A and B are shown apart, each in its own frame.
Chain A
Amino acid sequence: MSELNLAKQQDLTKSTLKNLSPLRFITCGSVDDGKSTLIGRLLWDTKAVKEDQEERLRKDSRKQKDGLNLPEFALLLDGLQAEREQGITIDVAYRYFSTSKRTFIVADTPGHEQYTRNMATGASSAELAILLVDARVGILEQTKRHAMIASMMGIKQFILAVNKIDLANYDRQLFETIETEFSEFALSLGITDIISIPMCALKGENVVNKDLEHMGWYEGPTLLEALERATIRSKQTVGFRMPVQRVCRPNESFRGYQGTVSGGAVKPGDSVVILPSGIKANVTNIITFDLVRNAAVAGDAITLELDRNVDIARGDMISSIDARPLVGHNFSANIICLAQSGIVANKRYWLKSSSKLQRVVVEPISVIDLKSGQYNACDSFELNNIGKVKLRFEEEANFDIYDENPDTGSFILIDPDSNNTIAGGMISAKIEQVANIDNFNEEEIIVFSMPLVEAKKLQQLEGFKEISDKVQQTQTIKSKLRNLLSDID
């Protein structure tokens, strides 16, 4: 285990563990890897399976294939009849269990490539992904695909569950080979937080209970220990955001704005800006059913009262003034196509994000080849395609970059013909509409050059925003700039 993980672990033992937030995680792997068995085992060993469920389970189990006299754990999970009949998981199922330290919500998702969309759905709200591999088979293309999708959906913590290690004679060397192979691949995706655990889900070894009999050589945590220690990303360090869900008007004298804080924090007296109008106001009260509060943080469902009557409607964003979201008509995003109908260029779709519905036109740019990880140019998306698009809004939109704030950087696309949800998306950048020198009406021009980081700070300044339509910005590299500037005397 790395030093960093050890430090994290020690910190946690010191703190009061029951104060942990629930952990939402996803399990990826195919039926053959024993995914449903693994979750079944977690539920079983944490006593989340009750006696009558057990009885039914034993009744429904068709075969006892292992002589362990255990029920088929998979039947606990594959709730739909079709799934029971076909023995596969076709939809996302949510499961719940808890220990004395933490509660857990598991999204159990199917492994086959045709169910990529279900995996993305499960991954969207998860903080951690368990990637299951069969120790005898090792890392498959599918394992890599799952890691890629999970990483794209913003998951930073991974557990590589090397299952069926009993069938590989508890071979330490084999485990370490798989661990290294995965780490190298994961690094190429920017994944660094990985815990690899050798286990046998069927027998329950290293899942909830440590196996010392066969795997004394393994010094890391059991699966449950690793889950108990997982961290939750804090959304309190970013700018204040509260998308307005509804306006609350119980009588003539009261007007409050109801919503959930989706970033940062707020307290009475704070100045805020309302987007898209740009009007500023001060927060006077934070109201909840229980009490008038002196602060609210990300996650809190509140009602805000402001010091002046301004025109605010559902879909507006109340934001801190100094750290605003990106505002504009054009954004680039990563999307996953969820519908058979696909996504076509230049069709007007509905986009829903943070309680706001807007019209948008989607320009497909490229689609990822899940086998090679390469992006190929494209002009439409098919079911389960993942790729990059440009979004063109008819009215000004505001977003954060998904990596900085998933709540205000995510969206779904809805087909206005069928009303179906056809894509999930993550904002990656705002596309700057820059001025063109051809439109400058003066001959004298000053060229500034500065590091990208500084330029980004400059773009955020209020004064700069006012003149941004008169400034042409071009990103380049040092060597090219040197040549360019040498031409200007």
Chain B
Amino acid sequence: MNEPENHQKPPLEPHLKELENEAIFIFREVAAEFENPVMLYSVGKDSSTLLHLARKAFYPEKIPFPLLHINTGWKFSQMIEFRDELIKRYELELISFTNPRGVNENVTPFTHGSALYTDIMKTEALRMALDDGQYDAAFGGARRDEEASRAKERIYSFRTPDHRWDPRNQRPELWSIYNGMIKKGESVRAFPLSNWTESDVWQYIRAEDIPIVPLYFAKNRPVIERDGMLILAEDKRLELAPNEQIKQMDIRFRTLGCFPLSGAIKSEARNIDEIIEEIEVATVSERQGRAIDRDQAGSMEMKKREGYF
């Protein structure tokens, strides 16, 4: 059975409680309506929150579906350590998938550029993994406040058999009644955190004492500066250009992905209270550290149409 850890927490603030109730409702609804759901798990803070909510939703039962991690092979090593520890502790079923084509053709963010690399190792990999498992529903931790095209995403987001999203032709969603009727081969992506903001996620992580990857907390770490981003220089796979030098800096990450594409921020926030304080006064949104969103307006919408999460 799924064991709760802490029986003595103070009650949640009403707005967090309402968000939690909504997420639990969505988890239960999808688990009951679909034959073969899976939960996308990226090891980041939103995924950690999603996982925590899933454990709550089904308690005292264990989570009745597997977790799927699309592993590009270029994740921070701390993420993989954290993931493996958590899977063991909570006795979860994890499927880690890496695109075999990418491995064979040696696709890397350095040799193929961030756009093509992301397309093969993330978008194509996700499509392959979903086809492999024949999943008819996939939970994701996307939030509507992250990016403009996500603001119109449904809670149950319909996908064609080739995983395409048609933003012009979405099913209307009224009240909290979700339409889960699909034909064979079609699927739904379900987003229990749709109505959460970054600040909500952090407040909830603090209130619920949810474990997260230590890279979110500031620490003195080696970095290089590349294309205006601070790249962590702890990994042997990072090749330095002649003009690049490793510097020690107090940094942390607001979002985590592949280490060569994730920019760190200078920060002194060493615990959750300090992170929340930092966000309250932050003037830069969290996706700013992501190379893939920065090409042009609408770039996320294009990736999403292609099946990117």
Taking beta carbons and an 8 Å cutoff, which residues of A are in contact with B?
Answer: 18-22, 50-53, 56, 59-60, 76-82, 84, 90-96, 98, 102-103, 105, 117-118, 120-121, 124-125, 245-246, 248-251, 254, 256, 258-260, 287-291, 299-301, 303, 314, 338, 350, 352-355, 406-407, 410-412, 414, 419-421, 424
Contacts and interface: CB of A to CB of B under 8 A. Distances in A.
A420 B29 contact: no
Given A50-B285, A77-B151, A124-B174, 5 more contacts: A79-B301, A94-B152, A301-B25, A407-B175, A419-B179
B25 to A, nearest CB: 5
5 contacts: A50-B282, A301-B20, A410-B174, A420-B179, A421-B172
Given A91-B152, A94-B151, A414-B181, A290 B9 contact: yes
Given A50-B285, A250-B60, A80 B29 contact: no
A260 B176 CA distance: 11
B297 A245 contact: no
B60 A84 contact: no
Closest A-B pairs by Cβ, 8 of them = A79-B148, A50-B285, A301-B24, A51-B283, A289-B56, A124-B174, A424-B174, A250-B61
Contacts of B152: 79-80, 91-94
B96 interface: no
B148 A254 contact: no
Contact of B174 (A22, A81, A412): A412
A422 to B, nearest CB: 9
Contact of A291 (B1, B7, B170, B285): B7
Interface in B125-160: 144-145, 147-152
Contact of B177 (A80, A353, A419): A353
Contacts of B17: 299
B171 interface: yes
A420 B179 CA distance: 8
Interface in B56-76: 56-62
B6 A290 contact: yes
Interface residues of B, number: 63
Nearest to A97: B197
Contacts of B175: 124-125, 406-407, 410, 412, 424
A358 B214 CA distance: 48
B172 A60 contact: no
Interface of B: 1-2, 4, 6-7, 9, 13-15, 17-18, 20-21, 24-25, 28-29, 31-32, 55-62, 144-145, 147-152, 167-168, 170-177, 179, 181-183, 194-195, 197, 199-200, 282-285, 287-288, 297-298, 301
Given A94-B144, A121-B174, A290-B9, A21 B28 contact: no
A259 B21 CA distance: 10
A80 B149 contact: yes
Contact of A314 (B6, B9, B32): B32
A78 B301 CA distance: 12
A53 B151 CA distance: 14
B25 A245 contact: yes
A18 B13 contact: yes
A405 to B, nearest CB: 12
Contacts of B182: 419
Contacts of B55: 289
Nearest to B57: A301
Contact of A121 (B168, B172, B176, B284): B172
B174 A245 contact: no
Contacts of B148: 76-80
A20 B14 CA distance: 7
A352 B177 contact: yes
A299 B176 CA distance: 12
A300 B56 CA distance: 12
Contact of A299 (B21, B57, B151): B21
A60 B297 contact: yes
A300 B177 contact: no
B282 A301 contact: no
Contacts of B145: 95-96
In this complex, which of A76, A353, A419 has the most chain B Cβ atoms within 10 angstroms of its Cβ?
A: A419
A90 B172 CA distance: 12
Contact of B15 (A22, A80, A95, A291): A22
A288 B181 contact: no
In this complex, which of B18, B29, B171, B175 has the most chain A Cβ atoms within 10 angstroms of its Cβ?
A: B175
A245 B199 contact: no
A459 to B, nearest CB: 28
A267 to B, nearest CB: 17
A411 B177 contact: yes
In this complex, which of B15, B21, B177 has the most chain A Cβ atoms within 10 angstroms of its Cβ?
A: B177
A50 B297 contact: no
Nearest to B282: A50
A489 B270 CA distance: 91
A122 to B, nearest CB: 9
Nearest to A56: B297
Contacts of B183: 419
Nearest to A410: B175
A250 B174 contact: no
Contacts of A414: 179, 181
A19 B7 CA distance: 22
A99 to B, nearest CB: 12
B15 A50 contact: no
Contact of A288 (B1, B28, B56): B56
A98 B6 CA distance: 29
A52 B288 contact: yes
A246 B62 contact: no
A80 B301 contact: yes
B28 A245 contact: yes
A98 B145 CA distance: 12
Contacts of A350: 181
Contacts of B288: 50, 52
Nearest to B301: A81
A448 B105 CA distance: 87
Contacts of B144: 94, 96
A78 B176 CA distance: 24
A94 B22 CA distance: 16
Given A53-B285, A290-B9, A96 B167 contact: no
B181 A419 contact: yes
Contacts of B298: 81, 84
A50 B284 contact: yes
